């Protein structure tokens, strides 16, 4: 796995925001945030896909359509202006989200058996 995407943001100070991205924009948004030195977390897992009879291992977001940003409100709005974000979701329980994201990071680092998921609508 490319550690730059799935790495836990070290010394991340700020507020956690859930960024609901436009279709298939998670990795590109993560690259934009990394270039601007904005702390974020994009949990990726490796899945096997078949393309015309060929088998390939592909890194895909664990939560398709979502990226977790840790920063200021200005950082979140700057990400929104990239036209890669569909919605900024404010997180009322910061400790719980960080704790759960750390658990996800630990499971991915330990090669836990995880599959892509989306929250119910």
pLDDT single digits (tens) 51-107: 999 999 999 999 999 999 999 999 999 999 999 999 999 999 999 999 999 999 999
Report yes or no: 85 and 26 within 8 Å, Cβ to Cβ.
no
At residue 26, the 3 state secondary structure works out as helix
| d(C-alpha 106, C-alpha 101), whole Å | 9
| Cross-sheet strand order for the sheet of 15-21 | 39-41, 66-71, 15-21, 85-90
Phi/psi of residue 12, each to 5°? -75, 120
Task: Enter the pTM of the model.
Answer: 0.86
């Amino acid at each position: 796995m490319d550690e730059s995407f799935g790495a836990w943001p070290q010394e991340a100070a700020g507020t956690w925001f859930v960024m609901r991205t436009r279709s298939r924009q998670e990795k590109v948004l993560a690259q934009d945030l990394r270039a601007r030195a904005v702390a974020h977390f994009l949990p990726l897992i490796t899945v096997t896909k078949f393309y015309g009879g060929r088998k390939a291992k592909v890194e895909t977001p664990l939560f398709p359509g979502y990226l977790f940003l840790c920063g200021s409100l200005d950082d979140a709005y700057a990400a929104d202006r990239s036209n890669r974000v569909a919605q900024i979701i404010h997180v009322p329980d910061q400790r719980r989200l960080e704790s759960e994201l750390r658990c996800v990071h630990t499971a991915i680092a330990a090669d836990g058996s995880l599959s892509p998921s989306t929250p119910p609508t």
